[in-house]
Amino acid sequence: MASRIARLVFHERALFVGMIVAAALCAALGVPFEFVLFGATLAGVAVFHRHTLQVALAGLSAIVLYKLAFTGFKTGGGLPGLGVHLLDEWVILTNLLGLLLGFALLSRHFEEGKVPALLPRWLPDDWKGGFVLLVMIFVLSSFLDNIAAALIGGTVARTVFRHKVHIGYLAAIVAASNAGGSGSVIGDTTTTMMWIDGVDPLDVLEAFVAAGTALALFGVPAALQQHRYSPIVRDAAEGVKVDWARILIVIIILLAAIAANVVLNVGLADAVGNFPLIGAAVWAALIVTAPWRKPDWSVLPGALKGSIFLLSLILCASFMPVEKLPVASWTTALGLGFVSAVFDNIPLTALALKQGGYDWGYLAYAVGFGGSMIWFGSSAGVALCSMYPQAKSVGLWLRHGWHVALAYVVGFFVLLAVLGWHPNAPHKQQRAAGSNPCFGGACEAVFETWPSPTPVYNPRPHA
């Protein structure tokens, strides 16, 4: 009996029916029809996980046509309004596209550099090896883009687990990459947005209390799942020679991304939102180093499909008529984590910054880590699922990655118990007093005009 109930709960058709019923109830209660269409799109992605790109594009088309015919856009009605909206979004989309494609090539450089094949020499040869790998991903993501951390982790896992990686462990890789960036202003899109807007990086740092707790809670069961499914390789293969040129190329690309992120946020605040500098820096590094070691261009078609899918969902979310959030509180922050699993966390963060009154460490953890609960809830999840298509199932992700949602809730309440809820003083007023880490008023001007233009995106992406 229990097994039948479990199959019913996690069966994708049951999920689809449930979401359709919820959408009908929302429509009956007067919820804007854009949300109904967006919900139906997400339900379609959950059910038809082998056709996610087609479903996302169909949903985007339906939302655009509805707004063209009936409601117009935040930037105006008809095709001119749509054009202005797309102009507002182009930096976000181009940056993310550049990172998704660029880091796909980076992960192949890393794999062909043969370092993953040598890691069994240093990783424990039981379930603890899988846990140590998750810790490594967590640390990498604290100073790298979470897409890069997830893809590097997925590349290592493919090697050390003989190309057999459990879906629960894949969910843990995404969770580790998102958790590691949640307390660092250069490790996550949303925390970078906070930094740009003037939030003190030290106010975000407390998110590591929750993130570290979550890592322990999802990391151990995920490592045990993987050990039972396919144990780690005990010994490195004989005769493996590291291609240090490729490893150096990987380092150059990552340093280019980090440097562009820091320079843009600290020294070129006026350029924020005007040019996709970080994505351009990654591709400049790829092109400059291409004569040294040719990138494996064959990975781009698959990565492009995943990228278009994610960009479609981000555009869908940008069209939603979300004008404000509930009153700032720890319960609101907790809820935003669940919302970010299905809704783009960039506009959620921008609205929270405009609203103020949050303890920013809680918000950083919630919107950064929350997207890990569903595979398309973050850019790291979408990127990793391009490498492991078998994970593109919401039902299987929830069933085998149950520990991620549990870890999110427990980590949040551990943070609440340890540090308490202390809303930060309005950072925009602090900037006016001369303590602006954004170096000028350009960042404030960007967010005070939300939702037009669209808030800046400075990757990490989690969607």
Segment 49-58, tens digit of pLDDT: 888 999 999 9
The closest of 378, 368, 346 to 458, measured between CA atoms, is 346
User: Mind listing the pLDDT tens digit for each residue in 417-456?
Assistant: 999 999 987 665 554 444 443 333 333 333 333 333 333 3
Separation of alpha carbons 238 and 113, rounded Å: 15
Separation of alpha carbons 285 and 15, rounded Å: 43
**Cβ proximity of 447 and 220 under 8 Å:** no
pLDDT of the residue at 351: 85
User: Mind listing the pLDDT tens digit for each residue in 218-254?
Assistant: 999 999 999 999 999 877 667 778 999 999 999 999 9
Separation of alpha carbons 153 and 279, rounded Å: 21
In sequence order, the β-bridge partners of residue 36 are: none
| pLDDT in 10s for each residue of the chain, 463 residues | 555 545 544 555 565 566 667 666 766 766 788 888 898 898 888 888 888 999 999 999 999 999 999 988 988 889 999 999 999 889 888 988 999 999 999 999 999 998 888 888 888 989 999 999 999 999 999 988 889 999 999 999 999 998 999 999 999 999 999 999 999 988 887 888 888 778 888 999 999 999 999 999 999 999 999 999 999 987 766 777 899 999 999 999 999 988 888 876 666 555 556 788 889 999 999 999 999 999 999 999 999 999 999 999 999 988 988 877 888 999 999 999 999 998 878 888 888 888 889 999 999 999 999 999 999 999 999 999 999 999 999 989 999 999 999 999 999 999 999 999 999 876 655 544 444 433 333 333 333 333 333 333 333 344 4
**Cβ proximity of 369 and 334 under 8 Å:** no
The closest of 83, 99, 88, 85 to 458, measured between CA atoms, is 99
Question: What would the 3-class secondary structure string for the chain be?
Answer: CHHHHHHHHHCHHHHHHHHHHHHHHHHHCCCCHHHHHHHHHHHHHHHCCCCHHHHHHHHHHHHHHHHHHHHCECCECHHHHHHHHHHHHHHHHHHHHHHHHHHHHHHHHHHHCCHHHHHHHCCCCCHHHHHHHHHHHHHHHCCCCHHHHHHHHHHHHHHHCCCCCCHHHHHHHHHHHHHHHCCCCCCCHHHHHHHHHCCCHHHHHCHHHHHHHHHHHHHHHHHHHHHHHCCCCCCCCCCCCCCHHHHHHHHHHHHHHHHHHHHHHHCCHHHCCCCCHHHHHHHHHHHHHCCCCCCCHHHHHHHHHHHHHHHHHHHHHHCCCCCCCCCCCHHHHHHHHHHCCCCCHHHHHHHHHHHCCCCHHHHHHHHHHHHHHCHHHCHHHHHHHHHCHHHCCHHHHHHHCHHHHHHHHHHHHHHHHHHCCCCCCCHHHHHHCCCCCCCCCHHHHHHHCCCCCCCCCCCCCCC
The CA distances from residue 107 to 59, 73, 112, 158, 171, in Å, are 31, 38, 9, 11, 18
